[in-house]
Structure 1
Amino acid sequence: MEFITWAVVVVAVLAVILLAAWRFFTLRSKGTSVILRELPQNGVHGWRHGLFRYNGNKLEYFKLRSLLPMSNLTLDRLSVTLLDRRDPVSDEAVFMSKGVKVLHIQSNDDHIEIALNTHSEMAFTAWLEAAPDARAEHTLNARDFNRFRPGKDTRKNR
């Protein structure tokens, strides 16, 4: 019985190590470093280091100290609004790099702060601004689509 217990423990430890290694090596090379916290928070509490990975209209956030094989948070570009941009306060500057800006965003009803360096902030705002405006989106009906087909003369006979 003791052998079975040790075997189960060894298999569990190996599984955790493999999962951690897989997550570390696959995400580290494909992500953007970020520090994120969900609001409301008091003081400097709630900040978590992690990675952003852009995936089309989705932004996936992976916590640095998590073993989940999927993202810990997913943001949809069409639901994200940039509310404010600020410098870190003195207590936050202790664990953040120089040149970091803190962005306050809203996604649906969730308020989130993200700390990004200059290049990451530029990439994030470019990704955000590239979203199509929901008011401008419309679908063309078949009649409108056929009107603009290549090779079709759209001028009326005179």
Structure 2
Amino acid sequence: MFKSNNTSELWIATKPQADELEKDYKQIKFITELKHNYNVKKEDRTYFHNKGKTTAITTGVSESLTVSIDYDDEQQAHKYLLKLLLGDIENLNNQFIKVKLKNFSTGTKTADIEITGKTTINFKNHIPSGNADEIVKLQIDFIPQDDAWKISEIEHQEDNREE
């Protein structure tokens, strides 16, 4: 859960190429830190790819969502993230996440806000330093890939969580 709002949730689609109803979102649990990064400064970035290519981009406004989690092999979303980390780097693009912000008051009723969109995943830090008793941690940046993010108000639902 998020430290700042323990009723909010972060989900990732384990089938990002599927149609919207079949993306199979799984909740990312055991979040220890969540930070929204927003920068209006113009900057030049160079991205290095695993096949020796580079891409140079000049950005204007940039933003990302930094998430730190304690890895648990029992969680489907955690296994999916580890599979992405160990797999082909090209699969880190075109992923989909969903953020659910619960219990927003809109006039006379309480609603949940759901934000869904396409993202690129950047793994920052991962796996322990070698101590056998150390908890495995993943630190990830979710970078918005386009401006087609969908924000919707949904009817408030009680805590009937799926894994």
Give the TM-score range, shorter chain.
under 0.3
Higher RCO (CA-CA < 8 Å; seq separation 6+) = 2
Larger helix share, 1 or 2: 1
Larger strand share, 1 or 2: 2
Per the normalisation by structure 1, the TM-score is 0.25
